[in-house]
Structure 1
Amino acid sequence: MKKLVVSIWLIFLLGAIGALFWYNELVFQLPTPVPKNYKPVYQGQLISLNGVLKNENKPIFFHFFNPDCPCSRFNVANFKSLVNQYGRQVHFVVVVLNNHYYTAKQIQDKFDLTIPVIFDPSIAKSCGVYSTPQVALLNPQHQLYYRGNYNRSRYCTDEKTNYAKNAINGLLAAQPKLAFNQLALRAYGCQLPNCNK
């Protein structure tokens, strides 16, 4: 009788763990809901930076990040690899959203990078970003070249759909416009302003 109870308990426990894992996978595969007052920002549109990086003459790569968002944490290694590969040609900036207690130094330590960190949610609004992690890549004239996801994969490991890297390569090769599918352009991740899913 004792073995039967233990077996039933283990089956129940494993079933609950499996259901929780399935639910989390499902939640992270759903797109982030578009806010009611959202104003779309289109490719080619001039982005107002409110005095931030006004003298920058290289492409600007804004990484919208929330340290408390699981999706953002999954993306750290992918972002670091982009900075290491393109850091001389592109100006990388981390924009921290929903910050309550982090400093710029703490964020830099999380990435093990010494790049600018900004705590200004108005940049997200200017770029049309409403979830984390997201990319906004601007050309040297501060026009939006790409805004979207890093990758199709939740863990940013699918090289075939490395949208952020493809966008950087397209901009550096002076391709006027790249066509991206909905998996690249529809926001997935933690919803702003609270950055939760």
Structure 2
Amino acid sequence: MRIFIAIALFIVCFGSILFIFWKQEVKFSLPTPVPSNLEIVEQGDSVKLPQLSNFIGKPLYIHFYNYDCPCSRFNMKEFELMVAKFSDKVNFLAIVESSGETTSNAGKEFKEKYELNIPTISDTDGALAKELGIYSTPQAVLIKDNKIFYKGNYNKARFCTSKNTKFAEMALQALIKNESPPDFPLLATIPYGCELPSHSRQESGLSNLFNF
């Protein structure tokens, strides 16, 4: 009997370790599942959003942040450095979501926590993310002359530690130098990280419609 109990405890413990490893590591190294209702927005596409009409005179760098995403939190140090380094050359904007029932205070909390002195929008219903074809974090969108200059990942590494694959910063440097967007591998544009809460809610709502 003791042998069976020991085996059962081992299975439970081993299963728990595998689950934690999946939840904290493996799933973030895999591409984020593509939403069924995704609107495709690609490099070179025109962007006309009323919410962005105040950003004129300089190119616009949009940072998507999800409070509940560990990848977003690890990514903040790199984003803060970019704001400090390039804020005189481009406009920075943070678009914030949260998995809570409401994200109306998420933008305010973001500004108070990081003190970046940049405009911040709480994308409560995910409208801006949808219009820009974003469904994962951390992600960056660079806009120049009302067109998508770059849309994709910050880095191939979850902790943004790979100096040779700082895709977002490399794209920003090319933009500032008036160069064409770099020819990045697919690793730069296939979203990795956490699904945005707004997409999760939309997918859940669509599923419930068909559960009679």
- How far did 1:39 drift? 2.3
Q: Which residue of 1 aligns with 2:132?
A: 127
Which of 93, 109, 112 is 1:109 aligned to?
112
**Alignment of 1:31 onto 2:25:** no
Q: Which residue of 1 aligns with 2:141?
A: 136
- How far did 1:55 drift? 4.7
Go from structure 1 to structure 2 and tell me whether the alpha carbon gap of 1:112 and 1:15 turns closer, same or farther (over 3 Å shift).
farther
SS of residue in 1 equivalent to 2:50: coil
Kindly provide the CA deviation profile for residues 91-123 of structure 1, in whole angstroms up to 9, marking residues without a partner as x. 110001246253433211222311100123322
Contact 2:96 2:106 in 1 (8 A): no
SS of residue in 2 equivalent to 1:83: helix
Go from structure 1 to structure 2 and tell me whether the alpha carbon gap of 1:147 and 1:155 turns closer, same or farther (over 3 Å shift).
same
| Equivalent position amino acid for 1:143 in 2 | K
**Alignment of 1:191 onto 2:195:** yes
CA RMSD of aligned residues (A): 2.5
**Structure 1 segments unaligned to the other structure (5+ residues):** 1-7
SS of residue in 1 equivalent to 2:53: coil
Q: Which residue of 2 aligns with 1:5?
A: none
Kindly provide the CA deviation profile for residues 141-174 of structure 1, in whole angstroms up to 9, marking residues without a partner as x. 1210000011111011211111110010111111
Q: Which residue of 1 aligns with 2:87?
A: 87
Instruction: Between 74-83 and 98-107, report the one with greater CA deviation.
Output: 98-107
**TM-score when scaled to structure 2?**
0.78
Instruction: Between 25-34 and 103-112, report the one with greater CA deviation.
Output: 103-112
Which of 160, 166, 170 is 2:164 aligned to?
160
- How far did 1:64 drift? 0.7
Contact 1:48 1:126 in 2 (8 A): no
| Equivalent position amino acid for 2:92 in 1 | F
Kindly provide the CA deviation profile for residues 27-70 of structure 1, in whole angstroms up to 9, marking residues without a partner as x. 11110111112221121111122242345111101101111211
- How far did 1:19 drift? 2.9
Counterparts of residues 10-49 of structure 1 (less than 5 Å): 18-24=17-23, 25-49=25-49
**Structure 2 segments unaligned to the other structure (5+ residues):** 1-6, 202-212
The whole-number CA distance in structure 1 between the counterparts of 2:19 and 2:51 is: 45
| Runs (4+) off by over 6 Å | 11-14
Instruction: Between 95-104 and 167-176, report the one with greater CA deviation.
Output: 95-104
The whole-number CA distance in structure 1 between the counterparts of 2:62 and 2:153 is: 12
The whole-number CA distance in structure 2 between the counterparts of 1:87 and 1:55 is: 13
Q: Which residue of 1 aligns with 2:70?
A: 70
The whole-number CA distance in structure 1 between the counterparts of 2:11 and 2:157 is: 30
Of all paired residues, the percent bearing the same amino acid is 36
Instruction: Between 130-139 and 119-128, report the one with greater CA deviation.
Output: 119-128
